[in-house]
A and B are shown apart, each in its own frame.
Chain A
Amino acid sequence: MSERILVIDDEKAARMSFILALKDTGFEVDTAESGEKGLQMKNDAEYDLIFLDLKMPGMNGIETLRQIRKTDKKVPIYIFTAFHKEFLDELKIAQKEMLSFEVLKKPIGADLIVTLTKLILGQPEEAEEASYV
């Protein structure tokens, strides 16, 4: 059975970038346009990996992370955001609450989406794929 990935981002272009990048990888990719929708989808299905936007109207990334972690402490969650201090500072809230997550820099290219996804899900084709100069 294919691994399932959930992408939660209010921007359609961002959701499409993941769909397009991963379309030939064999992974199943679902998307949600809001934190609320993403949480609902997570509650309805099992996912192996979640990509989560930090800045969203309504339920933002931190709150979505908090809610997901109430019922699933293990699923890898990558929060994607610009690596600017003002955005990263928001992640301190999640740190203080000991919520488990990693970060992914925005914007991100298709190649890295594929490479990172394969690595997280334990499928690097070659060790060289794990690294970049």
Chain B
Amino acid sequence: MYEFRLYIIGRTPKSIDVIEELVRLLEDALDGYYHLDIIDIIDNPALAEKDEILATPALKKVSPEPARTIVGDLSDAETVLLALGLTALREEAEK
């Protein structure tokens, strides 16, 4: 099971768009085999510190290892999947 944490700064229209896009992307790539936690940095700065989050929005792949974090524009599926090392999985899912 893949575990992700998405760090945002409040539930704004923009961050809701980010969440929806990300869920679509992860559903396509991982066929539901994932868990996504949404973390508001303002409410949980300690976890953001622990996860070494440097900016929002940020998506951290917690498991499986290696852990990786992607920041900035999360709307580009190719970039997100490549950065998190998930491209091969999506290709497998598309077969």
Contacts and interface: CB of A to CB of B under 8 A. Distances in A.
B25 interface: no
Given A95-B9, A98-B12, A112 B54 contact: yes
Contacts of A108: 54
A78 B49 CA distance: 18
B39 interface: no
Interface residues of A, number: 30
Judged by DSSP, the binding face of A is mixed
B43 to A, nearest CB: 9
Interface string B60-73: 00000011111111
A89 B40 CA distance: 12
Contact of A95 (B42, B48, B72, B78): B42
A82 to B, nearest CB: 9
A132 B68 contact: yes
Interface string A95-133: 100101111110010001001100110101001101111
Contacts, number: 82
Interface residues of B, number: 29
A120 B58 CA distance: 12
A33 B44 CA distance: 30
29 contacts: A83-B48, A83-B53, A84-B45, A85-B45, A88-B45, A95-B9, A95-B42, A100-B12, A101-B9, A102-B9, A102-B57, A103-B41, A104-B54, A104-B55, A105-B53, A105-B54, A105-B55, A112-B55, A120-B73, A122-B73, A128-B82, A130-B70, A130-B83, A131-B68, A131-B71, A131-B84, A132-B68, A133-B66, A133-B69
Interface of B: 9-10, 12-14, 41-42, 45, 48-49, 53-57, 66-73, 78-80, 82-84
